[in-house]
Chains A and B, each alone.
Chain A
Amino acid sequence: MSGIGLTLRALHDGERDLEADLLAVAERHRTEHEVHHIATDVARWSREHAARLAALGPDHGVDLSGPRDHTAPGALTALREKAAQALGRRPETGLLLLEDLRDLHLAAVRNSLHWEMLAQAAQATRDRTLLDLVTDCHPQTLRQMRWTNTMIKVLSPQLLVSV
């Protein structure tokens, strides 16, 4: 397997994980309405990225499964949302939220660096298809990073100081 193939796989897995993590955070923080809604919105980008990476896999000798099947909101989802409602009045959940946002941000940074590697490799090999994919997708990863960063910036003073 080529270096590009390995990187495609790492990024594909990273986007799959990030989608799952974003959706899990959305459920866990159901009472943080903006986090809930925007995390769900930007999870869609990671899902699309995973699908497009999977489609490109065979060109680089890797077989990638693409995004996870969406299970219908099941027992786990219901449990997480119930827990969120119950804990929504406790200040301590604010710290948990900051930790979750930090982890999402770091996961997006990891993906971003993989996009960067692929962009460089695509330019070196004049691989238009790969370069187009990076051009389409990488900006959305950067937006995921900026969003988590903004949320951390906005929420930290209240959640760290006033709790």
Chain B
Amino acid sequence: MNSSPDRIADPWGVRSPYAPGDPWPSRTDLHLADGVTEEDVEQWVPSASILHSNGDAMDIAVRDGRIVGVRGRAADRVNRGRLGPKDLYGWQANHAPDRLTRPLVRENGRLVETDWDTALDRVAARTRTLLDERGPGSVGFYTSGQLFLEEYYTLSVLAHAGVRTNHLDGNTRLCTATAAEALKESFGSDGQPGSYEDIDHADTIALFGHNMAETQTVLWMRVLDRLEGSDPPRLLCVDPRYTPVARRADVHLAPRPGTNVALLNALLHEIIRTGRIDRAYVDAHTVGYDELAAGVERCTPRWAARICDVPAAEIERAADLLGDARRLTSTVLQGVYQSHQASAAAVQVNNLHLIRGMLGRPGCGLMQMNGQPTAQNTRECGADGDLPGFRNWQNDRHVAELAEIWNVEPDGIPHHGPPTHAMQMFRYAEQGSLRLLWISGTNPAVSLPELGRIRSILAQERLFVVVQDLFLNETAQLADVVLPAATWGEKTGTFTNADRTVHLSEKAVEPPGEARADLDIFLDFAARMDFRDKDGGPLIGWRDPQEAFAAWQRCSAGRPCDYTGLSYDKLRDGGIQWPCTEDAPDGTARLYTDGFDHAHPDRCESYGKDMVTGATVTPVEYRSLNPDGKAVIKAAEYLPPHEDASAEYPLQLITGRTVYHFHTRTKTGRAPELNAAAPDVWAEISPAEAAAQGLADGDLVRVTTPRGVIEARLRTVAIRDGVVFVPFHYGYWDTPEGHRPPDGRPGRAANETTVTDWDPLSKQPLFKTAAARVTLAARRGTPRRQDTDGAGTNRPGADRTDTHGTDTHGTDLGSTA
């Protein structure tokens, strides 16, 4: 055998049903290159998924120095051998012919090849000049959710204590910032409370804005296997789209985008009204319950029904389902995190678990999910700008502790305010005070909102842009220096998934050309900058991944994300959940089994923020509210969205993912099976909405907002009337223009149209609250203009005009793909 059955047609594969409390049966998924069998493989190198947040363990198959496939690891706790379609096929991108193999620098307006010394000297020289002339506030770093822990920690030390800038963030800001913020608000610190095993024990599973079937296919397999087994859990789905999750749900609520807080307040109202709270738990472990009860007193299902446009009876049914659960597992993702009042809504899911006393026990799992494979490490290492180890920038003792670990003066670590989030960095660059932006492993020229604005910021003469990536993506094309990076399979390091499972990913093959591991690039830069500690020694003393890991272990000691009990050797046997210490050598399945230590004023990562304004709570206020360190129940009032449908823009636009692609398709667009499965952008509206607008399935439509316009094939699918959905993956690297829409013509990146607005607490951009209109560009069957003039023909699978609406649509996957 060299391959599992076609997992494009069936992303989830065959079922292995199991009963509550039983271990999830294993199933080993495999995909090898054509003509290669398992016997031909010379080496199997342990790793895990890098194309989503689930952390599925796998072995990389190597033959003749090349990656020839992947096989799931049956013994691993996360996936028991299963892999999703992106893992099975995505590795092929490593071998793509257009990988960057040499550094590039801009000369006379053009990017030309050069050597590492020239490229990095140029970056170091500009950094030094800016630090001398304008100070550390002129330098910013925007990194990823796909590098390794060792790389984030190195970058974090380099930025915090080397450059001493507050401007450091990851693209996790777009996917997981609200998860972190919601956990900080409720439990005082980041850290996923639940464990994937909670799926095995739950009698009720609630998915809030989480299309798990597409974002975490293997976890969804686990749910499907429970649903097919004896005594299956009941399922609640909250999603304006009729997703595969919705199709399996006992209750599906499809609220108007932007109204999650109203809906959740009504659910909490019903649970409180019907007395289904765990009073003893609330009294023992929480503060703030009375404010919540008062806050939701008037939030009846009838009230919410008007705001959310969901029948009150359905809200009551959902509340019954949640209220009757004995073992409730909830997950939350982008339907909440990228929507209006993101943090306020995510916190209400925490409140649901707190008032029902459903935390820290098997089946009572609360999971504020991540979108990216290594997002957890971005957060814990402080590559999102936070202080490493979930330390509190407002707590001088935490800063002193960090200063001691790094052997620097406490005032050498900027902590006068919260870190600068990505959107604010771009604002500072727009306004001219940020002059160097180093972007690693992410593609803001496609992934940030309002792309016309982002492109104009990146293209400024006064802004020096460094891009570190695998390919000459849209952002790299606007850079002054481009650094070719090694990727998964070409370097060694660890990363941590959405349920705190740490995996080791080892180097299997050499990177192409002169490409280097991100760790080596950061270390080289630090050496060129000659960053020193307070005794004159090197600030960063480590030279390889294992030494970087050891440095991080020391930084994590005693913090919620304690790695001190882990080692590369131990991780070679499989994933382990942090905290992992001498006392808990096998890791920790669930946090908060016995109280909320991390919420204590002396230990917490954050004192919290105002649920509407994002204003920081002071240490004194927090200490008086929560002197003993309990979970904090925070109420939130519903506010209308900042941009809503109008006569001119009658629809609400939401963007999202497809199961076949990740991010801006940098890798998945270069894996033939994945690219062929979803080669070009489309737009979804309901059949009724299409009829009302005089549109039909397969028409070429324009989606227009006050910011911009795109063209896409229309798919009519089951989705709320009044809502248009567009996948955000598609950019321009595989079009003639390379990094932007054709002159004077509509683009295809969803973010041409999205709004620049972010959650005031988590600073996560809101991709699911914009007003739009959908109009006809050309009837079905009419080729696009760019096809007739030949401009689009070099695009892989370019715009299969006639089949786009029918090929994938109409299958079981049609509305989801």
Interface residues of A (CB under 8 A from B): 31-34, 37-38, 40-42, 44, 88-91, 93-94, 143-144, 146-147, 149-150, 153-154, 157-159, 161-163
From A41, A90, A153, A162, contact of B613 by CB (8 A): A41
**Chain B residues closer than 8 Å to A158, beta-carbon distance:** 137, 420, 428, 433-434
* B760–chain A nearest beta-carbon distance, Å: 6
Which residue of A has the minimal Cβ distance to B418?
A154
Which residue of A has the minimal Cβ distance to B460?
A89
Q: Does B735 contact A (CB under 8 A)?
A: no
> Most A CB atoms within 10 A — which of B431, B434, B639?
B431
From B166, B610, B757, contact of A33 by CB (8 A): B757
Which residue of B has the minimal Cβ distance to A33?
B756
Q: How far is the CA of A150 from the CA of B134 in the complex (A)?
A: 24
Q: Are B431 and A154 in contact (CB under 8 A)?
A: no
**Chain A residues closer than 8 Å to B433, beta-carbon distance:** 91, 94, 158-159, 162-163
Q: Are A150 and B613 in contact (CB under 8 A)?
A: yes
Q: Does B247 contact A (CB under 8 A)?
A: no
B127-161 contacts to A, CB under 8 A, are 134-135, 137-138
Interface residues of B (CB under 8 A from A): 134-135, 137-138, 166, 416-418, 420, 423-424, 427-428, 430-434, 610, 612-616, 639, 642, 756-758, 760
**Chain B residues closer than 8 Å to A146, beta-carbon distance:** 610, 613, 615-616
Task: Show 11 residue pairs from A and B whose CB-CB distance is below 8 angstroms, ordered by the A residue.
Answer: A33-B758, A38-B760, A40-B642, A41-B613, A42-B613, A89-B431, A93-B431, A94-B433, A150-B616, A157-B416, A162-B134
**Chain B residues closer than 8 Å to A37, beta-carbon distance:** 642, 757, 760
Q: Are B423 and A38 in contact (CB under 8 A)?
A: no
Decide if the interface of chain B is mainly helix, strand, loop or mixed.
Answer: loop
Q: Are B431 and A91 in contact (CB under 8 A)?
A: yes
Q: How far is the CA of A143 from the CA of B432 in the complex (A)?
A: 31
Which residue of A has the minimal Cβ distance to B618?
A146
* B281–chain A nearest beta-carbon distance, Å: 28
Which residue of A has the minimal Cβ distance to B643?
A37
Q: Are B758 and A150 in contact (CB under 8 A)?
A: no
> Given the interface contacts A41-B613, A147-B614, does A162 sit within 8 Å of B427 by beta carbon?
no
Q: Are B137 and A161 in contact (CB under 8 A)?
A: yes
Q: How far is the CA of A101 from the CA of B567 in the complex (A)?
A: 50
Q: How far is the CA of A40 from the CA of B417 in the complex (A)?
A: 24
From A32, A149, A157, contact of B137 by CB (8 A): A157
**Chain A residues closer than 8 Å to B427, beta-carbon distance:** 31-33
Q: How far is the CA of A161 from the CA of B417 in the complex (A)?
A: 14
Nearest 4 Cβ contacts at the A-B interface? A162-B137, A147-B613, A146-B615, A162-B433
**Chain A residues closer than 8 Å to B420, beta-carbon distance:** 158
**Chain B residues closer than 8 Å to A44, beta-carbon distance:** 639
> Given the interface contacts A37-B642, A38-B614, does A91 sit within 8 Å of B432 by beta carbon?
yes
Which residue of B has the minimal Cβ distance to A148?
B615
Q: Are B432 and A90 in contact (CB under 8 A)?
A: yes
**Chain B residues closer than 8 Å to A143, beta-carbon distance:** 610, 612-613, 615
From B135, B430, B614, contact of A31 by CB (8 A): B430
**Chain A residues closer than 8 Å to B758, beta-carbon distance:** 33-34
Q: How far is the CA of A159 from the CA of B137 in the complex (A)?
A: 9
Q: Are B430 and A153 in contact (CB under 8 A)?
A: no
* B439–chain A nearest beta-carbon distance, Å: 19
Q: Are B416 and A38 in contact (CB under 8 A)?
A: no
Q: Are A150 and B614 in contact (CB under 8 A)?
A: yes
Q: How far is the CA of A94 from the CA of B434 in the complex (A)?
A: 13
> Given the interface contacts A38-B760, A161-B137, does A153 sit within 8 Å of B417 by beta carbon?
yes
Q: Are A88 and B416 in contact (CB under 8 A)?
A: no
Q: How far is the CA of A22 from the CA of B756 in the complex (A)?
A: 19
Q: Are B431 and A88 in contact (CB under 8 A)?
A: yes
Which residue of B has the minimal Cβ distance to A97?
B431
Q: Are A162 and B417 in contact (CB under 8 A)?
A: no
* A58–chain B nearest beta-carbon distance, Å: 26
- Taking A31-B431, A33-B427, A146-B616 as given, write out 20 further A-B residue pairs in contact, using a Cβ cutoff of 8 Å, ordered by the A residue number: A33-B757, A34-B614, A38-B613, A38-B614, A41-B612, A41-B642, A42-B613, A88-B431, A143-B613, A147-B610, A147-B614, A149-B615, A150-B615, A150-B616, A153-B417, A157-B166, A158-B420, A159-B433, A162-B138, A162-B433
Q: How far is the CA of A150 from the CA of B760 in the complex (A)?
A: 11
**Chain A residues closer than 8 Å to B610, beta-carbon distance:** 143, 146-147
> Most A CB atoms within 10 A — which of B166, B427, B639, B758?
B427
Q: How far is the CA of A158 from the CA of B134 in the complex (A)?
A: 10
Which residue of B has the minimal Cβ distance to A93?
B431
* A4–chain B nearest beta-carbon distance, Å: 27
Q: How far is the CA of A32 from the CA of B757 in the complex (A)?
A: 10
* A133–chain B nearest beta-carbon distance, Å: 16
Q: How far is the CA of A91 from the CA of B434 in the complex (A)?
A: 10
**Chain B residues closer than 8 Å to A42, beta-carbon distance:** 612-613
**Chain B residues closer than 8 Å to A34, beta-carbon distance:** 424, 614, 758, 760
Q: How far is the CA of A163 from the CA of B427 in the complex (A)?
A: 13
> Most B CB atoms within 10 A — which of A42, A93, A94, A162?
A162
**Chain B residues closer than 8 Å to A161, beta-carbon distance:** 135, 137
> Given the interface contacts A143-B613, A161-B135, does A88 sit within 8 Å of B430 by beta carbon?
yes
* A31–chain B nearest beta-carbon distance, Å: 7
**Chain A residues closer than 8 Å to B424, beta-carbon distance:** 34
Q: How far is the CA of A158 from the CA of B416 in the complex (A)?
A: 11
Q: Are A157 and B612 in contact (CB under 8 A)?
A: no
* A33–chain B nearest beta-carbon distance, Å: 5
Q: Are A162 and B430 in contact (CB under 8 A)?
A: no
**Chain A residues closer than 8 Å to B428, beta-carbon distance:** 158, 162
Which residue of A has the minimal Cβ distance to B137?
A162
**Chain B residues closer than 8 Å to A162, beta-carbon distance:** 134-135, 137-138, 428, 433-434
Q: How far is the CA of A146 from the CA of B618 in the complex (A)?
A: 10
From B166, B431, B614, contact of A90 by CB (8 A): B431
* A143–chain B nearest beta-carbon distance, Å: 6
**Chain A residues closer than 8 Å to B615, beta-carbon distance:** 143, 146-147, 149-150
Q: How far is the CA of A41 from the CA of B615 in the complex (A)?
A: 13
Which residue of A has the minimal Cβ distance to B432?
A91
Which residue of A has the minimal Cβ distance to B167?
A158
**Chain B residues closer than 8 Å to A88, beta-carbon distance:** 430-431
* A158–chain B nearest beta-carbon distance, Å: 5
Q: Are B417 and A157 in contact (CB under 8 A)?
A: yes
**Chain A residues closer than 8 Å to B434, beta-carbon distance:** 158, 162
Q: How far is the CA of A154 from the CA of B763 in the complex (A)?
A: 13
Which residue of B has the minimal Cβ distance to A153?
B417
Q: Are A94 and B135 in contact (CB under 8 A)?
A: no
